Copies of this chain bind each other. A is one copy, B any other.
Amino acid sequence: MVPTSVSDQGAHIIQKETVGGTTYFYTDNTPAPMAGMVFPTYHIYPPTAPHVAYMQPKANAPSFFMADELRQELINRHLITMAQIDQSENTGVPSEVDSYHSLFPLEPVPPPNRLQKTSNFSYITSCYKAVNSKDDLPYCLRRVHALVFSYDFHAGAETMFSRHFNDPTADSYFTKRKWGQHEPPPPRQHAGLLPESLIWAYIVQLSSALRTIHTAGLACRVMDPSKILITGKTRLRVNCVGVFDVLTFDNSQTNHVTLMPQYQQADLISLGKVVLALACNSLAGIQRENLQKAMELVSINYSSDLKNLILYLLTEQSRLRSVNDIMPMIGARFYTQLDASQMRNDVIEEDLAKEVQNGRLFRLLAKLGTINERPEFQKDRTWSETGDRYLLKLFRDHLFHQVTESGTPWIDLSHIVSCLNKLDAGVPEKINLVSRDEKSVLVVTYSDLKRCFDSTFQELQQAAATGPL
């Protein structure tokens, strides 16, 4: 096997052509095997690639989890996905709804405060994680009276409201502090304002969602911090889409799309409010009476692009607003977002590359475990001590029971990994297997061992499949 690598043209030049001052050579696509090239026939873990090892995410780019944080996050999501309730202690939770079972409340049941309904379409709603019996996958159910809406479940998601707007002290700038017409608001850079890069990361994603929806001739109608979900550090998704369309469906109206342009305008104004609230780090900033203060805060602390975007969305426009009009304001920040996303891909890929061998190694040890020391096989109590199995028993000792010259245990995971990899690859390398009484040494190749291993496990599997002889 020969790597297709950085620049392998020139191996077998079959034609050349000079184009625009540069000479190109066409090559035979079949790379010639290179003499004396050695691929390790067993696997060892490659180091992290330098472009990830020395990655320096840009200061103005959205941040993302690095490998260790991501693992923690994945385990956390896993836990949340698998969480169940004890039905006997939660009689208020239905055991099944339509084809969904294993309901797990994502909000308290019943809601402790009926006022909560205001942010939930003026209805009492409940929200569950549930498993669809048709595909066994987890979904998020939003239940409104007898209606149930089903959405993808994103474990560990939180709302933009709960992440950014759940601290009432942040509003004090607007609600408590008094400052006069001529006294400029103090810069709030150090008072917990969000970094502009985060706000743009959100703008790009929310405008992308609106663009997709509006291009389809629909409206979102739930562009609100309580309906925007955040997973990881900056990834957004819009929850509860379609709920208003169903709840306000008017059968008497013949053309249901008539109101869409109006709803789409409302979507864009809602987006403006979300962005302004983020820029003020307070929902109080979008109250009509605070608007001037809020815009001054934006002018002082953020770029004119951000201010212009908010003004475009929130002030009167002579013609209909369009989500396409904000693209130029995002401008080169698209590149920043894309860079960050691709760097994140690199990080996760590197992390996956490290893990991709573990499943294989685990299965190898599990197979070996089913063979070694098996007390009886098909009425033969000496099966695991004789023939091929004897070799595998000695290999097991070689793998796990190494001792130093002075007789102390020598425990080294890389020895285990390396031996298992050689076994898996069946390399021609020889290995000395010492009997327990140290009286005999069997010299075999890993390739021999692999044959023993494969045929023995096959024997077990066949017996398992066909029953006793």
Q: State how many angstroms separate the Cβ of A67 from the closest Cβ of chain B.
A: 9
Contact of A413 among B7, B85, B366 (CB under 8 A): B366
CA distance A273 to B24 in the complex (A): 14
Residues from chain B with a CB closer than 8 A to the CB of A363 are 413
* A162 adjacent to B46 (CB under 8 Å): no
Contact of A366 among B22, B161, B365, B370 (CB under 8 A): B365
Chain A stretch 409-432: residues in CB contact (< 8 A) with chain B: 409-411, 413, 416
Chain A stretch 1-30: residues in CB contact (< 8 A) with chain B: 1, 3-20, 22-27, 29
In the complex, which residue of chain B has the Cβ closest to the Cβ of A465?
B408
Residues from chain B with a CB closer than 8 A to the CB of A208 are 335, 338-339
CA distance A332 to B366 in the complex (A): 51
Q: State how many angstroms separate the Cβ of A210 from the closest Cβ of chain B.
A: 10
Binds B, one of A109-117, A246-254, A304-312: A109-117
Residues from chain B with a CB closer than 8 A to the CB of A155 are 3, 5, 49
Residues from chain B with a CB closer than 8 A to the CB of A342 are 235, 341
Contact of A416 among B104, B328, B366 (CB under 8 A): B366
In the complex, which residue of chain B has the Cβ closest to the Cβ of A215?
B332
Q: Which applies to chain A's interface (DSSP): helix, strand, loop or mixed? A: mixed
* A23 adjacent to B70 (CB under 8 Å): no
* B119 adjacent to A24 (CB under 8 Å): yes
Q: State how many angstroms separate the Cβ of A94 from the closest Cβ of chain B.
A: 15
Residues from chain B with a CB closer than 8 A to the CB of A78 are 43, 46, 353
State whether the Cβ of A96 lies closer than 8 Å to any Cβ in chain B: no
* A26 adjacent to B167 (CB under 8 Å): yes
Q: State how many angstroms separate the Cβ of A373 from the closest Cβ of chain B.
A: 6
State whether the Cβ of A202 lies closer than 8 Å to any Cβ in chain B: no
In the complex, which residue of chain B has the Cβ closest to the Cβ of A137?
B50
Q: State how many angstroms separate the Cβ of A89 from the closest Cβ of chain B.
A: 3
Interface size range of chain A in the complex: 35 or more
- One digit per residue, 1 when the CB lies within 8 angstroms of any chain B CB and 0 when it does not, for chain A 135-149 equals 111111000000000
User: Known: A47-B136, A158-B5. Contact between A287 and B23, CB under 8 A?
Assistant: no
State whether the Cβ of A192 lies closer than 8 Å to any Cβ in chain B: no
- One digit per residue, 1 when the CB lies within 8 angstroms of any chain B CB and 0 when it does not, for chain A 106-137 equals 11100111011011000000010100000111
Binds B, one of A178-186, A295-303, A344-352, A441-449: A344-352
CA distance A287 to B23 in the complex (A): 12
* B349 adjacent to A70 (CB under 8 Å): yes
Q: State how many angstroms separate the Cβ of A5 from the closest Cβ of chain B.
A: 5
Residues from chain B with a CB closer than 8 A to the CB of A44 are 82
* A162 adjacent to B397 (CB under 8 Å): no
In the complex, which residue of chain B has the Cβ closest to the Cβ of A235?
B342
Contact of A89 among B14, B18, B36, B140 (CB under 8 A): B36
* A10 adjacent to B137 (CB under 8 Å): no
- One digit per residue, 1 when the CB lies within 8 angstroms of any chain B CB and 0 when it does not, for chain A 74-106 equals 110111111111101110000000000000111
- One digit per residue, 1 when the CB lies within 8 angstroms of any chain B CB and 0 when it does not, for chain A 379-423 equals 100000000000000001101110110111111010010000000
User: Known: A80-B3, A166-B27, A411-B461. Contact between A10 and B467, CB under 8 A?
Assistant: no
* B127 adjacent to A7 (CB under 8 Å): yes
State whether the Cβ of A451 lies closer than 8 Å to any Cβ in chain B: no
State whether the Cβ of A38 lies closer than 8 Å to any Cβ in chain B: yes
Contact of A5 among B6, B156, B225 (CB under 8 A): B156
Excluding A6-B106, A37-B85, A372-B373, 11 further A-B contacts by CB distance (< 8 Å) are A4-B158, A5-B158, A7-B106, A12-B112, A23-B119, A37-B84, A328-B328, A362-B365, A370-B400, A379-B407, A408-B468
* 27 examples of A-B residue contacts, CB within 8 angstroms: A3-B80, A3-B155, A5-B80, A7-B107, A7-B162, A9-B162, A11-B107, A11-B112, A13-B113, A19-B287, A25-B119, A29-B166, A34-B108, A37-B85, A38-B83, A39-B83, A44-B82, A46-B138, A49-B155, A51-B154, A71-B352, A328-B328, A358-B359, A365-B369, A373-B396, A375-B436, A378-B407
Instruction: In the A-B complex, list the 9 residue pairs whose CB atoms are closest, starting with the nearest.
Output: A36-B89, A355-B355, A23-B118, A358-B358, A334-B334, A36-B86, A369-B400, A3-B80, A341-B341
